[in-house]
A = this chain, B = another copy of it.
Amino acid sequence: MKYTKDLSWKKGITVKDIVDQYSSVGYQSTEISRASDLITKMKKEGAKIYLSFTSNMVTSGLRGFFAQIIKLKMADVICTTVGSIEEDIMKSKGEKFILGSFRADDQELYENGHNRVGNILITNETYSNFEAQMQGYLLELYKIKKVWSVTDLLKEIGLKLNDENSFLYQAAKNNVSVFCPAITDGSLGFHLFLFKQDHPDFFVDVIEDFKQIIFSTTHDEKKGIIALGGGVSKHHVILTTLINGGADYALYMTTASPRSGSLSGATTDEAKSWGKIKDDADAVTVVGDVTITFPLAMIKSLEDLSDEGILKEF
């Protein structure tokens, strides 16, 4: 039996130490510690790791952390929404996102060409620079072939970015596929539309993407899910593992509540009823802002894996 222990500070305390202490504090701090142990276990037992995240996380400073995780071989397949793609490219091109306030005057922001995402601001200029960039990329891709799966298209773009902090670049370089099940749901959708106006034989083949993601693993392979936030990116990695017999490990990190039946708020328990994760799977749900909880859980795991000599490189 495990008991609560009094948390205490000592000068210079590391993240590893604090997450270790969290294991005996209770509530969500204990769940973070469990999350960390679960990530470590997934890795040590050779699971294929599916990492999903929503685009607001790429708006935030987690973007470079995702790139680092891919570089460290801690994620094998990525699934996200199109805003992540757009903003990763923007940042790779040197665009800067401003730290603002949740209680900003949104009317004033609008007049100044500032678009708010929580307490982060993106300028209109950043969006127009992105537009110019994309038309160039699409033309280059079109010269190669006319019909693209989204994941192949993102790999080509990723290779062009040449930014260590870009998750698209690191994914492309490390043979990690990036899936995006709703590729048109963003300004990229508009750019694809514009491009197709002049190049009507240009196609994005989403069924091919689905084929690629379900063939990304097998029933026999061990599978782990790290789902950050909800929405289609979470659902898509769960669906993929379900089709392949269910996940062996699942970590959900979310702020959504399970009380309205949304998939975003669905817990790992609910997932068991579907066979989405195996009945005896290790599963942890952490409730809280992912910008806080994910770095803590992942860093503790990286430290442990590094201490054990398992981490590939750093």
A–B complex contacts, Cβ < 8 Å, 25 sampled: A1-B99, A2-B98, A4-B97, A5-B61, A7-B295, A12-B14, A12-B16, A13-B299, A15-B18, A21-B61, A24-B99, A25-B60, A26-B61, A26-B99, A26-B119, A28-B288, A29-B291, A31-B119, A55-B263, A117-B266, A181-B184, A193-B214, A203-B203, A255-B259, A288-B292
A119-B26, A184-B207 known; A287+B259 contact, CB < 8 A:
yes
A19-B109 Cα distance, complex, nearest whole Å: 28
Contact A106 B272 (CB under 8 A): yes
A28-B61 Cα distance, complex, nearest whole Å: 12
Interface of chain A residues 8 through 56 with chain B (CB within 8 A): 8-18, 21-22, 24-32, 54-56
Of B81, B118, B196, the contact of A261 (CB 8 Å cutoff): B118
Contact B64 A2 (CB under 8 A): no
Of B14, B91, B230, B291, the contact of A28 (CB 8 Å cutoff): B291
Contact A28 B299 (CB under 8 A): no
Most chain B CB inside 10 Å of its own CB: which residue of A97, A205, A210:
A210
Spell out A's residues near B (CB within 8 Å): 1-18, 21-22, 24-32, 54-56, 59-65, 67-68, 81, 83, 91, 96-99, 102-104, 106-107, 109-110, 114-121, 165, 181-186, 189-190, 192-193, 196, 202-207, 209-211, 214, 229-232, 235-236, 239, 243, 255-266, 269-275, 279, 287-293, 295-296, 298-299, 302-303, 306, 314
